[in-house]
Chain A
Amino acid sequence: MNPLSHEQVLSRLRQLPSLPAAVTELLTSFDNEDVDIAAIVRLISRDQGLAARVLRVANSSFYGLQSKVASINEAVVVIGFRAVRSMVLAVGVTGLFKVDKCPGFDLRSYLRHGVGVALVARALASHYGRNPEMAFTGGILHDLGQLALAANFPGELSAALAYREQHDCPLVVAERDLLGIDHAAIGGILAENWSFPDTLRAALADHHAPAAATADSLADLIHIADAVSHGLGLAACRHDLVMPVDRTAWQRLGVDAAVLTAILPQVMQDMEETCAALA
């Protein structure tokens, strides 16, 4: 298998549809104190496919609403802007990729792992003074490069999945050995193309090498959450493998055993319902 050149990847990813306007607007809203919620609600509502998916999640048993919400506006009133934002970012970005042509790629495990990392990252964020909703979004999207590979280079990813099997190695190593590029780098390219905020871009690009990112990015948090989620086996597949935990990330975040232990019960309790809602 020939390695993928940077140009090859770039040119293919440039052909991806642009992000829904509502998603772009929501991404910038994290750093914006006075968000025009009404304008964002209008943007989501105008995108019928996106609005329908968001309403399906809002009306799932996860939120246990007394009565069904019928509009985005109502959803924002009932479950709050922040929850709707996380939801739109999760379904709006993931939904852009068609991954059914990549033998060996297990979408269910991919989604479960994203939810697991999101829940752990959100819980840790509240303890370590980070934005919990941004951390949740970072968790959902951190392996987006895998989805992009499955959709745009299905043969290549399929070969990497087989290589992982053969060599008993993490997928990221199989990708580097075989393709010369890994899903973190591809996630970084995507995040740049789509002008993700820099903290979020680092969650995609640097979660396997967080020391290379700045301490204020999400890379440390997502790296640790990735390890915790794999350790707990939340993806429920046999490739739920922990990679060596990066000391710099651990120390910069100030992770301690008491906090880690304290967050686990809530993560386990939220896991299945969040998967049912989002996946």
Chain B
Amino acid sequence: MKQKRELPLAEALPGLCLAENVSDGQGRLLVPAGAELNESLLAALARRSIESVIVECEVEEDPAEREARHARIVAEVDARFHLAGDGAETLLLRQIVLDFLKDAT
């Protein structure tokens, strides 16, 4: 499962992906979310006095926790679909939404 983690810039390594935009003190966008960090990007961020970045990282999720998270998502999706009937298109949409939300962090 992917999780967001805030890292001090010194601990951010090339190859990691940004989970959130990096902006400067005035709110100007420096690097967008999704960008992969590399040496020159990290050096540029250091020059701009960026102290930390929020990156994506893979973490092993505890099976019991995952189970509980999935059950919560199913309950929420079921509540939102409880008036939607059982047409084939509706059920397909429900499944797509469910799969997406289970995978998303």
List the interface of chain A (C-beta within 8 A of B).
61, 64-67, 168-170, 227-228, 230-233, 238, 240-247, 250, 255, 257, 260-261, 264-265, 268-269
Contacts and interface: CB of A to CB of B under 8 A. Distances in A.
A61 B27 contact: yes
B80 A261 contact: no
A227 B93 contact: yes
A230 B80 contact: yes
Given A244-B85, A244-B87, A247-B87, A228 B97 contact: yes
B83 interface: yes
A231 B80 contact: yes
B28 interface: yes
Interface of B: 21, 23, 27-29, 32-34, 76-77, 79-85, 87-90, 92-94, 96-97, 99-101, 104
A240 B82 CA distance: 11
A-B pairs, top 5 by smallest CB distance, nearest first, are: A64-B29, A244-B85, A242-B84, A231-B97, A245-B89
A169 B33 CA distance: 39
A261 B84 CA distance: 20
Contacts, number: 76
B79 to A, nearest CB: 8
Contact of A169 (B23, B28, B83, B88): B83
Contacts of B96: 257, 260-261, 264
Contact of A245 (B34, B82, B90, B101): B90
12 contacts: A66-B28, A169-B83, A227-B93, A231-B94, A231-B97, A242-B83, A244-B87, A244-B90, A245-B87, A245-B90, A255-B89, A268-B104
Contacts of A231: 77, 80-81, 93-94, 97
Given A61-B29, A232-B101, A233-B80, A260 B93 contact: yes
